[in-house]
């Protein structure tokens, strides 16, 4: 008598999702901000809102113990130790990668960027009012930057 065998189809393992840790969430940034003792906390909050408003694809998380922002990769991190004021480091993630021929072409008519390297720049704001005043220029720079991120 022949026995009938049933083959159970293999279920593929779920792909590891990039940025799927608890630190890669807005809740993690909210928790960090709730405990942050910083003289420019209001400016950092204004900066968060300005960055997130640039594009719906931007998400936030805590990277390098600071509020950080990403699309496919992290591209910006608040520099909490900037003296004086509020610093924002623009980068292309944690790992070095090939740059486009000629480097990053970022139109910066307001002179916000201080280049720290070929793939990294810093923007410094004096306070929350400065963040709000230069928000349109920052958002224009960020729209370009995320095209490389």
Half-sphere exposure of 148 (CA within 13 A, CB side): 24
Run of H or E residues at 130? helix 128-133
Domains of the chain: 26-95+106-145 (3.90.1150)
The pLDDT score that the predictor gives to residue 148 is: 84
Mean pLDDT, consecutive 10-residue stretches, the chain (149 aa), reads: 42 44 92 95 96 96 95 94 91 75 86 92 96 97 91
Stated pTM of the model: 0.82
The pLDDT score that the predictor gives to residue 7 is: 39
């Amino acid at each position: 008598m022949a026995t009938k065998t049933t083959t159970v189809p293999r279920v593929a393992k779920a792909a590891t999702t990039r940025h799927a840790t608890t630190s890669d969430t807005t809740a993690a940034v909210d928790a960090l901000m709730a405990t942050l003792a910083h003289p420019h906390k209001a400016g950092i909050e204004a900066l968060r809102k300005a960055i997130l408003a640039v594009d719906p694809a931007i998400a936030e998380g805590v990277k390098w113990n600071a509020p950080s922002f990403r699309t496919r990769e992290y591209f910006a991190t608040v520099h909490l130790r900037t003296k004086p004021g509020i610093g924002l480091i623009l980068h292309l993630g944690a790992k070095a990668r090939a740059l486009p021929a000629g480097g990053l072409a970022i139109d910066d008519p307001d002179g916000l960027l201080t280049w720290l390297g070929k793939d990294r720049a810093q923007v410094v704001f004096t306070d929350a009012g400065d963040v709000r005043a230069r928000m349109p220029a920052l958002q224009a720079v960020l729209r370009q930057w995320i095209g490389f991120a």
